[in-house]
């Protein structure tokens, strides 16, 4: 495996540009996976990444060894500990991979879908995608106002959930919902039917809105049901990630034998 000692190495500079620039990631359609857990999940689903970069001191860890066994030596770069901080990664990240962001082709709507409208916080989007994958959601549709699904912060929050979902970005959700033949459930902060009593029969799509404004009136209008989460504690609201988890797993609970 090539060992990199200079910050001017062209392959390492290309990786650093992707880490530091959202525009570069969007333009190239690539994303950066930070840490061996995300890399391992990706490899299990899609195979080897385009580039694997490993900190020299992490080479002997069991997780890194397992990943290295799955990739050709030519795609791996080993970076000395003295050069690793140049990549400006979170502390304790010992490996990263560059991959092409999966771009699924939409053919037909799944039985269990999630719509995110203008959810702007990357941590919330990542947590929601993680919950969606755990709950068995097949497709997630994000409006143009959502955080970029393949940004490092969203990927970190998703913990590999991205690679168990078909993720569609920049979707006109009102137009999509107008054509949807299933059971569209819009979540609203108050005055909706209790999520615990609402019709969640499949095929179902659950819509989660912006952290502050909630769902748009236009999307609520085309929904079959408007639901709220009962909050007997008297607090005004849950954040988007918590609300999504409650709704998704209420659907799961209904399907359990």
188: pLDDT confidence band, cut at 50, 70 and 90? very high
Q: Kindly state whether residue 15 falls inside one of the protein's structural domains.
A: yes
Residues 139 and 168 in one domain: yes
The listed range with the strongest mean pLDDT (5-19, 68-82, 239-253) is 239-253
Q: Which domain holds residue 231?
A: 112-255
d(CA 223, CA 205): 9
Residues 70 and 181 in one domain: no
Per DSSP, 242 falls in state H
Choose the final residue of a domain: 51, 77, 100. 100
Residues 84 and 127 in one domain: no
Residues 197 and 74 in one domain: no
Q: What is the number of H-type helices and E-type strands within the chain?
A: 9, 12
d(CA 14, CA 117): 33
Structure tokens at 82: 């003295």
Choose the final residue of a domain: 100, 130, 146. 100
92: pLDDT confidence band, cut at 50, 70 and 90? confident
Residue 10 sits in a domain of what CATH number? Answer: 3.30.1330.30
Mean pLDDT, rounded, for 236-244: 88
pLDDT > 70 fraction of the chain, expressed in percent and rounded? 99
Asked if residue 91 has pLDDT above 80, the reply is no
Per the model's pLDDT, the better-predicted residue between 80 and 88 turns out to be: 80
| Per-residue pLDDT reduced to its tens digit, 37-56 | 999 999 999 999 999 999 99
Any residues with CB less than 8 A from the CB of 41 and at least 6 apart, and which?
Answer: 160, 163
Number of domains making up the chain: 2
Residues 153 and 67 in one domain: no
| Per-residue pLDDT reduced to its tens digit, 24-40 | 998 899 999 999 999 99
Asked if residue 100 has pLDDT above 90, the reply is yes
Q: Kindly state whether residue 106 falls inside one of the protein's structural domains.
A: no
| Per-residue pLDDT reduced to its tens digit, 199-234 | 999 999 999 999 888 999 999 999 999 999 998 887
Q: Kindly state whether residue 105 falls inside one of the protein's structural domains.
A: no
Residues 157 and 241 in one domain: yes
Q: Kindly state whether residue 139 falls inside one of the protein's structural domains.
A: yes
191: pLDDT confidence band, cut at 50, 70 and 90? confident
d(CA 158, CA 154): 6
CA nearest neighbour of 113 among 133, 87, 98, 94: 133
Asked if residue 6 has pLDDT above 80, the reply is no
Choose the final residue of a domain: 47, 66, 100. 100
Average pLDDT along the chain: 92
Any residues with CB less than 8 A from the CB of 165 and at least 6 apart, and which?
Answer: 129, 132, 133, 137, 138, 139, 140
Q: Kindly state whether residue 107 falls inside one of the protein's structural domains.
A: no
Residues 59 and 123 in one domain: no
Residues 164 and 192 in one domain: yes
Residues 125 and 243 in one domain: yes
Residues 60 and 13 in one domain: yes
| Per-residue pLDDT reduced to its tens digit, 140-187 | 999 999 999 999 999 999 999 999 999 999 999 999 999 999 999 999
Mean pLDDT, rounded, for 192-200: 95
The position carrying tokens 């819509």 is 207
Residue 123 is predicted with a pLDDT of 95
Asked if residue 257 has pLDDT above 80, the reply is no
192: pLDDT confidence band, cut at 50, 70 and 90? very high
């Amino acid at each position: 495996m090539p060992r990199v000692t200079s910050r001017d190495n062209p392959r390492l500079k290309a990786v650093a540009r992707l880490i530091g620039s959202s525009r570069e990631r969007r333009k190239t359609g690539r994303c950066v996976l930070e840490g061996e857990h995300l890399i391992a999940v990706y490899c299990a689903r899609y195979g080897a990444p385009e580039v694997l970069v490993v900190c020299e001191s992490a080479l002997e860890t069991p997780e890194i060894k397992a990943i290295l066994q799955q990739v050709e030596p030519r795609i791996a770069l080993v970076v000395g500990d003295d050069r690793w901080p140049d990549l400006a990664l979170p502390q304790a990240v010992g490996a990263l991979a560059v991959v092409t962001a999966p771009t699924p082709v939409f053919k037909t709507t799944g039985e269990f879908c999630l719509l995110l409208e203008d959810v702007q916080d990357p941590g919330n989007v990542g947590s929601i995608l993680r919950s969606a994958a755990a709950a068995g959601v097949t497709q997630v549709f994000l409006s143009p106002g959502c955080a970029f699904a393949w940004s490092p912060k969203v990927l970190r929050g998703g913990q590999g959930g991205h690679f168990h979902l078909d993720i569609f970005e920049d979707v006109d959700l009102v137009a999509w919902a107008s054509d949807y033949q299933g059971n569209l459930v819009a979540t609203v902060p108050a005055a909706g039917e209790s999520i615990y009593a609402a019709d969640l029969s499949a095929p179902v799509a659950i819509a989660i809105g912006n952290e502050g404004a909630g769902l748009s009136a236009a999307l609520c209008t085309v929904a079959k049901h408007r639901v709220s989460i009962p909050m007997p504690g008297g607090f005004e609201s849950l954040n988007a990630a918590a609300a999504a988890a409650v709704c998704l797993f209420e659907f799961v609970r209904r399907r359990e034998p």
